[in-house]
Chain A
Amino acid sequence: LYEGLLRRMPAPDAPPPSNRANTPYQPQFATADEMKVSKDGRTYTFHIRETAKWSDGSPVTAHDYAWSWMRMLHPETESEYAYQLWYIAGAEEYTSAKLEVGAAVEVELADRPNRLQTFPRGTILRGVLKEIHTPPGGDEKAADAATIYGVEVDGKLRSFCREPTADSRQTVEELQQILPDFAATVGLKAKDDHTLVVTLKNRTPYFGDLVAFYPLYPVNRACVEKYGTPGFTRAENLVTNGPFKMQFRRIRDRVRLEKNPYYWNADEVQLNTIDAMAISSDIAALNMYETGQIDWTTNVPPTIIPDLRQREDFHTAPILSVYFYRINCSRKPLDDKRVRQALNLAMDKQKICERILRAGEQPATNLVPPGITGYTPPQGAGYNVEQARHLLAEAGFPEGHNFPKIEILYNTHETHQALAEVVQDDWRQNLGINVELRGLEWGTYLDAQNKLEYQVCRAGWNADYSDPNTFIDMFVTDGGNNKTGWSNARFDELVAGAATETKPAVRMDLLRQAEEILIDEQPIIPIAFYMSKELVRPSVQGHSLNAMKIHPLHLMRKRKASGAAAP
């Protein structure tokens, strides 16, 4: 539906697609037709093509991007992916509304047309923050509401407060929101209608990947401001800038896309209608594929994979996703590194891949999946029962004597359960320890994981961008996605060092060193690298496998047009 400045597409020199191998994809020009990066790698200048249009016919401009990213960063938007823009200078401070006396601020008055909608915003006054006066006492919320901000606007000092009292209303104006001045402090400027200049905090080699990642696609300002959120996403209101527009959307049924005639590259788009079906059961999807109701499905039941592997229309290749177990390092005896290593060594991952996952997944000895350009992942220890027993004995549990019972937690799903049963068996037979299994519904499972209320817990991670950092930086001390209680100063140092390192090779080396520490310390047990498993009818062309499971629909076509094409 939407399109970013860049988008990931098959590389121009890519070989013809194969049903057993990935096609190389890379970010390529989409709405932008030119990108200049400054020497220090911190300033990106995008030129937006003059022909880019929204589905209502109006032009796509640099202002649309500046506004969309501002909206994404705005604290009231609550964007779950706001941190993907925090690579831009000043962006994180804007989202977290970090105010400093003497800094430029923007004050939004309490005159929004609709108080429940953040956009359109009320009157914005720009000035310099001179003083913050917080009345003593009261809880945090009350204090915040009563805080008075002195801001110099156009040479005049004015006072603002979220909830002025009846008395203070004479001198204090009511404010809706006070934030760092976006135009002055955030490194994002629309120079003219077609030029967007972005200044980053540090050199970020994968910023191009981020720009090609869907959260950074633009939204139509007029549409959002007219219908509000979430009203603007209704099919009858939605204005988009991609190859397709939405005709309708029905829950648990389908989304129907139709070709967007205003798309700048509309001549290239071959499909007129696409139905994206919502099918919750893999078996129902398979039935519908086999009876010709759908043309393409991206998931199949594991039990029939051995049969499907013989078929030409079954497409499978490695993807940048890893299946792993977290170990709660804050609990005895799992706080002992030797115990964690023993658990890893005593797990037959080859068997798991062959008997449970069955789509040719590779056993994992490290966290970062293979296939990221420029990065050679370190090799961890493989299956070695002898050494595992030795380590466990060293840790004070010879033959597993006196080892407390441990529990493997997973979110309820056939595959996770079957896999955990294999692990349970391995650990019992190889180490002589007692293992129990517990399946939990998704929400409760996440909750237990977040609160470290587990011993060993199943997890998975997909790459957000094609860089080892997307996997490794999860495990910094107290990181939001660490969830193991593990902490290592040297590891943190290496990850932080990599973030500011300018030489790509050195940077990759720092990340590699960090990952080496991670797999030696073993707060996680990597198990397998996932495979894509898709059924694609031979009449569908323009489909190609890739490591991030991205499928640009505008490149697809169907031989012999037969009315509506299913997904």
Chain B
Amino acid sequence: MMFLLRRAVWIVVTLWAVYTVSFLLMRFVPGGPFASERQMPEAIKRNIEERYHLNDPLWMQYRDSLYYVVFKWDFGPSYKLGDFSVNDVIYQGFPVSASLGILAITFALFFGLTAGVISAARRNTPWDVVSMAFAALGVAIPNFVLASLAIVVCVFWLRLLPAGGWGTVRHLILPSLCLAAPVAAYLARLTRAAMLDVLSLDYIRTAYAKGLSERHILLRHALRGALLPAVSYLGPATAAVLTGSAVVEKIFNIPGMGSHFVESALQRDFTLSLGLVMVYTALLLVFNALVDLSYALIDPRVKME
């Protein structure tokens, strides 16, 4: 219980620090938020700045925005997307990214763990070589190459899946596989290495001596011990996948949060990028806390302190 409480306090403090730093950083980059090729008469420009309180001193802007975020859970209007608030953007984008991300993580866990376990159990056999070759490819091939290949094969040759867009489950499959590939590959390599370590330990030998089936030993005893590195990698990976990927979203034209991340920074959309950074940070912290909690569940030797 104390553990949870302390973690919660730390999360809040970290969020506050991240908020403050991002707020200041974004104010000091060159290029005003309302620069546009059609230059406006001075009066109009001033009005726009006034509406967003850009005329107030910096500390007042900071104080006001912090108050709204903390007490009203409101990140304010987006600087650039005129009639959408930051909350709108997150409410619309997050479910898309999250459903894509959950599917991707599921794929990654399934393929990654399976490949890792098989190649460890069948070390130095063709099974091992093939799985690890795929894993190496998965880590090495950049997202956009994989996505383009996937489109050529699945969309134009096989005519199985739509080229992009959003709406049905069929739209989800290709992009989530592309998102899953690097995570799965990395997971496979982590699992294989950890499995090899565990398989040489005494308790596994004991299990074999007791005459347990190989399947039982691998899945019940060895995998449990070998999961730790994979789990600690999964925390940040899940947070990243859930918040979307700009590249995959662009290629498949998916209305998720990843592109907002990149765009809002490029467009100097102060409030939006602040909101997104906060969502990402919160997810990252929560998943890291979950990872720490799960250590205790997986490995009885870890105690909460």
What is the minimal beta-carbon distance from A428 to any residue of chain B, in angstroms?
29
B35 proximal to A (CB < 8 A): yes
With a cutoff of 8 Å between Cβ atoms, the chain B residues found around residue A541 in the complex are: none
Bound Cα distance from A446 to B166, whole angstroms: 34
A206 proximal to B (CB < 8 A): no
With a cutoff of 8 Å between Cβ atoms, the chain B residues found around residue A277 in the complex are: 165, 253
Bound Cα distance from A285 to B251, whole angstroms: 9
Q: Which of B44, B151, B159 has the most A CB atoms < 10 Å from its CB?
A: B44
- Among listed B65-73, B79-87, B201-209, interface-contacting one: B79-87
Given contacts A284-B164, A291-B162, A291-B163, contact A251 B253 (CB under 8 A): no
B138 proximal to A (CB < 8 A): no
Given contacts A288-B253, A291-B156, A442-B266, contact A78 B48 (CB under 8 A): yes
What is the minimal beta-carbon distance from A385 to any residue of chain B, in angstroms?
32
What is the minimal beta-carbon distance from B34 to any residue of chain A, in angstroms?
9
With a cutoff of 8 Å between Cβ atoms, the chain A residues found around residue B37 in the complex are: 446, 459-460, 481
Q: Are the C-beta atoms of B43 and A287 separated by less than 8 Å?
A: no
B221 proximal to A (CB < 8 A): no
With a cutoff of 8 Å between Cβ atoms, the chain B residues found around residue A123 in the complex are: none
With a cutoff of 8 Å between Cβ atoms, the chain B residues found around residue A483 in the complex are: 39
Taking chain B's interface residues, is the majority helix, strand, or loop, or is none over half, making it mixed?
A: loop
Q: Are the C-beta atoms of B162 and A95 separated by less than 8 Å?
A: no
Bound Cα distance from A174 to B110, whole angstroms: 69
With a cutoff of 8 Å between Cβ atoms, the chain A residues found around residue B249 in the complex are: 252
Q: Are the C-beta atoms of A230 and B41 separated by less than 8 Å?
A: no
- What residue of chain A has the Cβ atom nearest to residue B166's Cβ? A253
With a cutoff of 8 Å between Cβ atoms, the chain B residues found around residue A442 in the complex are: 266-267
Q: Are the C-beta atoms of A284 and B252 separated by less than 8 Å?
A: yes
Bound Cα distance from A444 to B31, whole angstroms: 5
A280 proximal to B (CB < 8 A): yes
Bound Cα distance from A483 to B39, whole angstroms: 10
Interface size in chain A (residues, C-beta < 8 A): 42
Could you give, for residues 1-44 of chain B, a 1 whenever the CB lies within 8 Å of some chain A CB and a 0 otherwise? Answer: 00000000000000000000000000000111101111111011
B112 proximal to A (CB < 8 A): no
Bound Cα distance from A297 to B47, whole angstroms: 36
A interface list, Cβ under 8 A from B: 75-76, 78-80, 82-83, 95-96, 229-230, 233-234, 250-253, 277-281, 283-285, 287-288, 290-291, 293, 441-444, 446-447, 450, 459-460, 480-481, 483
- What are 22 sample pairs from A and B whose C-beta atoms fall under 8 A apart? A75-B47, A96-B41, A233-B83, A250-B255, A251-B81, A252-B254, A252-B256, A277-B165, A278-B253, A280-B250, A283-B251, A284-B250, A284-B252, A287-B151, A441-B31, A442-B267, A443-B266, A443-B268, A444-B31, A446-B37, A450-B39, A480-B41
B125 proximal to A (CB < 8 A): no
Q: Are the C-beta atoms of B51 and A450 separated by less than 8 Å?
A: no
- What residue of chain B has the Cβ atom nearest to residue A482's Cβ? B39
Number of A-B contacts (CB under 8 A): 118
Q: Are the C-beta atoms of A446 and B40 separated by less than 8 Å?
A: no
What is the minimal beta-carbon distance from A138 to any residue of chain B, in angstroms?
16
Q: Are the C-beta atoms of A79 and B251 separated by less than 8 Å?
A: no
Given contacts A233-B83, A287-B155, A293-B164, contact A446 B255 (CB under 8 A): no
Q: Which of B41, B164, B268 contacts A288 (CB 8 A)?
A: B164
B226 proximal to A (CB < 8 A): no
Could you give, for residues 225-260 of chain B, a 1 whenever the CB lies within 8 Å of some chain A CB and a 0 otherwise? Answer: 000000000000000000000000111111110011
Q: Are the C-beta atoms of A281 and B32 separated by less than 8 Å?
A: no
What is the minimal beta-carbon distance from A256 to any residue of chain B, in angstroms?
11
Bound Cα distance from A480 to B165, whole angstroms: 40
Q: Are the C-beta atoms of A78 and B156 separated by less than 8 Å?
A: no
Q: Are the C-beta atoms of A96 and B31 separated by less than 8 Å?
A: no
Bound Cα distance from A359 to B84, whole angstroms: 36
Q: Which of B30, B44, B162 contacts A80 (CB 8 A)?
A: B44
With a cutoff of 8 Å between Cβ atoms, the chain A residues found around residue B89 in the complex are: 251
- What residue of chain A has the Cβ atom nearest to residue B50's Cβ? A78
Bound Cα distance from A480 to B40, whole angstroms: 7
B93 proximal to A (CB < 8 A): yes
Given contacts A251-B84, A277-B253, A281-B250, contact A446 B35 (CB under 8 A): yes
Given contacts A281-B253, A447-B31, contact A441 B266 (CB under 8 A): yes
With a cutoff of 8 Å between Cβ atoms, the chain B residues found around residue A96 in the complex are: 41, 43
- What residue of chain A has the Cβ atom nearest to residue B89's Cβ? A251
Q: Are the C-beta atoms of B83 and A230 separated by less than 8 Å?
A: yes
- What residue of chain B has the Cβ atom nearest to residue A278's Cβ? B255
Bound Cα distance from A283 to B164, whole angstroms: 11
Q: Which of B44, B77, B151, B255 contacts A251 (CB 8 A)?
A: B255
Bound Cα distance from A442 to B262, whole angstroms: 13
Given contacts A251-B93, A280-B253, A443-B268, contact A78 B165 (CB under 8 A): no
Q: Are the C-beta atoms of B47 and A76 separated by less than 8 Å?
A: yes
- What residue of chain A has the Cβ atom nearest to residue B85's Cβ? A230
With a cutoff of 8 Å between Cβ atoms, the chain B residues found around residue A75 in the complex are: 43, 47
Bound Cα distance from A447 to B39, whole angstroms: 11
With a cutoff of 8 Å between Cβ atoms, the chain A residues found around residue B51 in the complex are: 78
Q: Are the C-beta atoms of B165 and A95 separated by less than 8 Å?
A: no
With a cutoff of 8 Å between Cβ atoms, the chain A residues found around residue B260 in the complex are: 251-252
Q: Are the C-beta atoms of B250 and A250 separated by less than 8 Å?
A: no
Please give me the 4 A-B residue pairs with the lowest Cβ-Cβ distance, nearest first: A230-B83, A443-B31, A253-B255, A252-B255
